[in-house]
Every structure is written in structure tokens, then in C-alpha cells.
Structure 1
Amino acid sequence: MTHAVLPCRDHLGASLRRWRALNRVKQSALAGEMGVSQTTVSRWEAGVLAPGTTEEDRLTRLLAARPSSAADSALLNLVRHSPQPAHLICDLTHRLFAASPARISGWRVGVEELAGKSLWRFASPGIAEGEAALDALGWYEPVAPAVIVDTEYADFDELTIGAGQLRYTRMPLSDGSFARLVQDGGA
């Protein structure tokens, strides 16, 4: 992953704090696992110190969403069976978890070729601009509002993105991470 590519990595601290609380992991235990001091973990969580590249990669792997509970599976199934164009991704890494038949119908490859892989490489300029604005729109707050992103037409070998609006909805998963539901249209 390229660090400049995923703006959400700027919010690792808040995600880390939430993950630790849900998993009952003390800062000192995480610090020992990461080979840093408890003070360093505290400063990461407060946003006053950015992790180094190696630590950032390890934290991203730790915090990446892994839908595994029955409730998470139900969410994936709802997306997979939705009649509307929609897909569900890891909010941090943009890895694809599920896509509706209406979404897949616009792809030139099967869902199995994209499942578990980051879709960020398909971001249009409008999607990248929308991603950069998420913080200002309250996306990383405990209860995030839905966000509407405008996108232009973008054509890739694997898929085409039509011009229009996308609605992002941030959803907590059972492991304390977040998924992003992406639906066509602003409604």
C-alpha cells in the first residue's frame, strides 16, 4: 500500500484507541507487541505522533476490518443480495468484502478477482476528492453521517465507474473496525 494513497490512514490513532477498548488491550501490551514504548502508543492515539512506515503498516494490518461474526456475515449477505448497485469495503484499506449483482453487472471481471483487494486504484478524481474531505464532514466521529460524493465517468480494464453520486455509510463491525457501504445515488 502506498501511504499517500489512503488518506484515512491519518486517523489510525482514533481507530487504534477504539480497537484497543473493544478488544481490552492495554497500551503497554500493544507497545510491547509493537516494540515501542507505552508513551509512543499514547501519542499515536492522541494524534501528536505519526507512526513510522513499518509501524503504520503493522497497525493497518491489525486494524483492517475482518467481518467474521454472524452479524457481519448478515451484512455481507444483504449487500450480496441487494437489488441496488452497492458494495462493501474495509473503511481503512478499501478492500472489497461484498458487491451486489447490480454493481457486479458493470464489471468486466468476476467478483472473485476483486474480492479481498483494495478498490482504491479505481478511484476517480471525484472519489479521491471526496475521500480527502471525509474528515471535515465528520466521517471519523463515533457516529458518522452518511456522505455524498460526486464522481465522474472513469473507465478501467476491470470496471467502469459511471458519472453521478455515491453515498457512503460507515458501519462498525463486530471486531471494532469499520466497513463502508457504497451505494449509487444520493438518496
Structure 2
Amino acid sequence: MKALSQTAPDKEFGRLLRQWRRTSDIKQSRLADILGVTQATVSRWENATQRPAPLQYDLIHQMMTRKRNFRLDHAVKRLVTHSNQRVHLIEDRSHRLLCASTVREQEWQRDSTTLLGTSLWRFATPEIAVTEKSLHDLGWHEDQADHLTFETSQREGAPMRIVDSYILWERFFLSDGTAVRLTTGYDQAPLHI
């Protein structure tokens, strides 16, 4: 794949972006979700009527040059699903559930397949909401921080049972460039992080 340059003509950037996206079987709406923009914005980039901001450009470049390893993605999901810990994997920005361990399902008292692809944000405790709002200041989305541990309140019953006293968030990327968050629950503050 030809290297991108921020100074390259817009038409060339748009052509390379469209070619990469189609070759990678990524829809405009999916790329928009990953980058935190609208589908119309991705379309404008591809049609050379708008250029991405520097941060978005850097993310696009990383995705286009990163070797895709679907086997690794599936291995991560398999490890999460079969973990003996209270753990689940979500898309970092949208909070959409990708997979959850059986132990987490037992905590939630529901089958996670009914939640796959939906945002878990509506189930956030006040502490989760406050911590989420602090991520910008920590440089979370700029890769200045990749893990965070915090205390949260427990909840019995609706809208979703939460038995964790402490939560560990760990951020990394799937092979398509999607930033994901591994969420692990603990009864006591983890010492190993």
C-alpha cells in the first residue's frame, strides 16, 4: 500500500482511503464509529471535499499500515469468553459489548448474547460515569494512558447487577483499528497493576 502523506493531494488521500476501506471490507459507517465521526464525514474525506484532523489522520494511517490479524482478535474474544474472571470486552468509544465471560454473565444474571452489539453505557454506575468523563484529561484516547483502576459502587437488581468493588479498564486495538476496552471486576483493589 502506498504511504500516505498529510500534504498529499486530497484526491489521492481519498482514493487510497476508499481503496483500503473496501479491500479491508470496512463500511464507511464502521470506520466512522472507530474514528468518532459521522459516516458523512468519511464520505467527504473519500470524495476529497474535506481532510481529517491530524489525530484522525494519524489513526487512519495506523489502521492502513497495521497488519490485520483476525486470528488474534478471535483468540482475544475466546480468552475473554472462557475467562474465570468477571470480564467483558467493549468498543472503547461506543461502549458496545463484544463479548463477556460466563462469570460476568452470572453477575449480570443474563445471557450476554442479548446485549452483544449494544452499548452498556445505560448500565453505568455514577462512579463509572465520572471516570469516563475523566478519560479525556488522562489522554486515554491519545494513547497516553492504556489502563485505569477505580472504585465503584455495587448494585443489586435493575437495570443491571454489579458486584464489583473495583474495576480495571485496559485499552488496546483490534486488527481493524477498533479501540477496545477490557473491563475486569475485582472485590479488592488489584495489586498487580
TM-score (norm 1): 0.65
Contact 2:146–2:172 (8 Å) recurs in 1 = no
Paired letter, 1:26: F
After superposition, the Cα gap between the structure-2 partners of 1:38 and 1:151, relative to the gap in structure 1 and judged at 3 Å, is farther
Q: Which residue of 1 aligns with 2:128?
A: 127
Q: Which residue of 1 aligns with 2:89?
A: 88
* Counterpart pick for 2:43 among 24, 28, 34: 34
Matches within 5 A, 1:31-110: 34-35=43-44, 38=48, 40-42=50-52, 44-45=53-54, 69-110=70-111
Q: Post-superposition shift, 1:106?
A: 1.1
SS at match of 2:136: coil
Q: Which residue of 1 aligns with 2:161?
A: 160
Contact 1:86–1:182 (8 Å) recurs in 2 = yes
Contact 1:84–1:100 (8 Å) recurs in 2 = yes
Contact 1:146–1:170 (8 Å) recurs in 2 = yes
Matches within 5 A, 1:15-26: 26=13
After superposition, the Cα gap between the structure-2 partners of 1:46 and 1:87, relative to the gap in structure 1 and judged at 3 Å, is closer
Contact 2:44–2:50 (8 Å) recurs in 1 = no
Higher mean displacement: 138-147 or 86-95:
138-147
Q: Post-superposition shift, 1:46?
A: 5.2
After superposition, the Cα gap between the structure-2 partners of 1:144 and 1:26, relative to the gap in structure 1 and judged at 3 Å, is farther
After superposition, the Cα gap between the structure-2 partners of 1:117 and 1:68, relative to the gap in structure 1 and judged at 3 Å, is farther
Post-superposition Cα deviations, 1:28-86, rounded to whole Å, max 9, x if no partner, equal 756896246757433x4458xxxxxxxxxxxxxxxxxxx98111000000000111110
After superposition, the Cα gap between the structure-2 partners of 1:159 and 1:123, relative to the gap in structure 1 and judged at 3 Å, is same
After superposition, the Cα gap between the structure-2 partners of 1:33 and 1:179, relative to the gap in structure 1 and judged at 3 Å, is closer
Contact 1:154–1:161 (8 Å) recurs in 2 = yes
CA RMSD of aligned residues (A): 3.0
* Structure 2: gaps spanning 5 or more residues: 1-11, 19-39, 57-67
TM-score (norm 2): 0.63
Identity %: 33
After superposition, the Cα gap between the structure-2 partners of 1:105 and 1:69, relative to the gap in structure 1 and judged at 3 Å, is same
Q: Post-superposition shift, 1:161?
A: 1.4
* Structure 1: gaps spanning 5 or more residues: 1-24, 48-66
Q: Post-superposition shift, 1:124?
A: 0.9
Q: C-alpha separation between the residues in 2 aligned to 1:32 and 1:160?
A: 38
Structure with larger Rg: 2
Contact 2:70–2:175 (8 Å) recurs in 1 = yes
Contact 2:123–2:159 (8 Å) recurs in 1 = no
